[in-house]
Amino acid sequence: MGYHPGIEDDGAYLAAIKSNVNPALYPHDAEFFRTQLQATFFDKWVAGFVHLTGIPVPWTELIWQCASILLIVFGCWSIARVLFAEERAQWAGVAMVAAMLTLPVAGTALYLADQHLHPRNVATAIILLAVSRILASKRWQAVPLLLLAFVLHPIMAAMGISFCFFLTMTTLESVQTWLSNWRSPWRTVRRGSLAAVVPLGWIFEPPNPIWHRALDTRTYYYLYKWTWYEWLGALGPLLLFWLLWHVARNRGNTVLARFALAVFVYGVFQQAVAMIMLGTPALVRLTPLQPMRFLHLIYFFLTLIAGSLLGKYLLNTSVWRWAAFLLVVNAGMFYAQRQMYSASAHLEFPGIAPRNPWLQAFAWIRQNTPTGAYFALDPQYMAAPGEDYHSFRALAERSQLADAIKDTAVVTQVPELGPEWAKQVDAQQGWQSFQLADFERLKSEFGVDWVLVSYPHQPAGLACHWHNDSLTVCRVP
């Protein structure tokens, strides 16, 4: 799956961890990551681990990323052991999940697991362990696990709690009882839908235009604008689990049948809630909660069970079939990852000199500029060719003016930041044609004293201190 610290969402999480370790960092722009992380204990926990052990942040990130992946795999194995008696089925399911960790989840902009340490990875591992406890008829052991997941990633934990509720119901009731009361899940949907529209003040506050502007940068928020194949990716797994429920029940595999039924009912319930939340104009403020992320767990279970069924009915004990299976799934996902991050090392381990020119610039800035330096760079820099969506803030460890790609996600969660975000992004419009006077305007208006610009076509008049073939670091006079 690769390892890429500091990319995409890790721009906020890694910056928050580093800020907790060294409060002198980010004197100008900390609100763009601290405010978003107020609902999670994740960054404080990782920073506490750094303080306790003395292990540097880059190595701490790598250690816990490996640990979270190991826990995810262990959770999947624990579930497979209950659902399938055959050992080959159990390990084939685990092998499939391990290979497909970077599988995209329909139109949600999620992978099964992120290529960097993310609270979602840790929360997912804990949720899978909770599911395995329920399947093992040790339901109360799932409660502290779900509470722990909640303090790490509330949204994903809420999905996990929802699924564990339906799974508990299917393990407490017979399948015949579920069939005879089939309408009960639909009544639950209606009750849940009514609960979703309880008149909480902040939900019904009219959103400002800047918030809508930020929201519009996240097209995957809009369920009713999804393409046909994204809808297929959302509804197709529900149909497959409905079919699996019937087939497993007819073959007498009660445990697998009840598990499939729980996944199906959970999916139908969450899909209905999502359609109500995202289709009701009065509830637009709930859009950033991204209710379609319920598919994340369903895709985990779909991948696990698909692999297990392959192991049970196709791979059997044939060495050649196993070799072909492992080669195809791993090589395919490896190729996709190399295409996605083609300008960066597949494994960006600590201590290895980066070959990516943007990361080279970030490293020089981190090591050679004052901690209080305030940078400006292209607000669209993450989407620049060869940048591979690495975060300046997290990797250069310096303050920056708001960007137009990842900081928008913060604005959707914290509308109060919208005016300042818009002010900073608008002040950087036309970046490609900026001259010395434009940089001096940024310095006068915001206090920016450093810039990262292209090389060798940097504007005249800047005091440039370092460059590579693509970029140069300059001070604004």
Give exposure, 408-427, as e/b (b: 16+ Cβ within 10 Å).
Answer: bbbbbbbbebbebbbebbeb
pLDDT at 279: 80
Please provide the average confidence, as pLDDT, over all residues in the chain.
Answer: 88
Q: What is the pLDDT of residue 93?
A: 97
Confidence band, pLDDT 50/70/90 cuts, at residue 408: confident
Q: Which of 326, 405, 302, 308 is nearest to 92 (CA)?
A: 308
> CB burial class (10 A; 0-12, 13-18, 19+) of residue 172?
exposed
> Using 50, 70 and 90 to split pLDDT, how confident is the model at 208?
low
Beta strands in 224-354 (DSSP E): none
Average pLDDT over residues 110-127: 95
When pLDDT is averaged across residues 197-225 and rounded to a whole number, the result is 60
Whether residue 306 is predicted with pLDDT greater than 90 in this model: the reply is yes
- Per cent of the chain over pLDDT 70 is 90
Q: Is a pLDDT exceeding 80 seen at residue 36?
A: no
Q: Which residue has the higher pLDDT, 280 or 304?
A: 304
- DSSP-assigned letter for residue 401: P
pLDDT of residue 65: 97
**Tell me, what's the pLDDT at 175?**
43
**Bridge pairing between strands 471-475 and 463-467:** antiparallel
Plot region of 397 (φ>0 → left; ψ -120 to 50 → alpha; else → beta)? left
**Mean pLDDT within 156-165:** 94
Over residues 48-86, the pLDDT tens digits come to 999 999 999 999 999 999 999 999 999 999 999 999 999
pLDDT digits (tens, 9 = 90+) for 166-184: 999 888 754 445 454 554 4
pLDDT of 9 strictly over 90: no
What pLDDT, on the 0 to 100 scale, is given for residue 270? 93
The pLDDT tens digits of the residues spanning 458-474 come to 899 899 999 999 999 99
pLDDT over 70 at 355, yes or no: yes
Instruction: Compute the C-alpha angle 67/72/76, nearest 5°.
Output: 145
pLDDT at 324: 95
**Stretch 183-192: mean pLDDT:** 42
pLDDT, residue 386, reads: 92
Kindly tell me if the per-residue pLDDT of 44 is higher than 80.
yes
With beta carbons less than 8 A apart as the criterion, state whether 202 and 415 touch: no
Average pLDDT over residues 92-101: 96
CA-closest candidate to residue 258, choices 194, 179, 156, 358: 179
CA angle 291, 297, 301 (to 5 degrees): 150
Q: pTM for this one?
A: 0.87
Residue 396: what pLDDT? 96
pLDDT score of 194 = 35
Range name among 179-193, 249-263, 269-283, 415-429 with the lowest pLDDT average: 179-193
User: What is the DSSP secondary structure assignment for residue 350, as one 8-state letter?
Assistant: T
More confident residue, 235 or 108: 235
Which residues are CB-contacts of 372 (< 8 A; sequence separation ≥ 6)? 24, 27, 28, 399
Mean pLDDT to the nearest integer, 364-376: 95
Average pLDDT over residues 263-284: 87
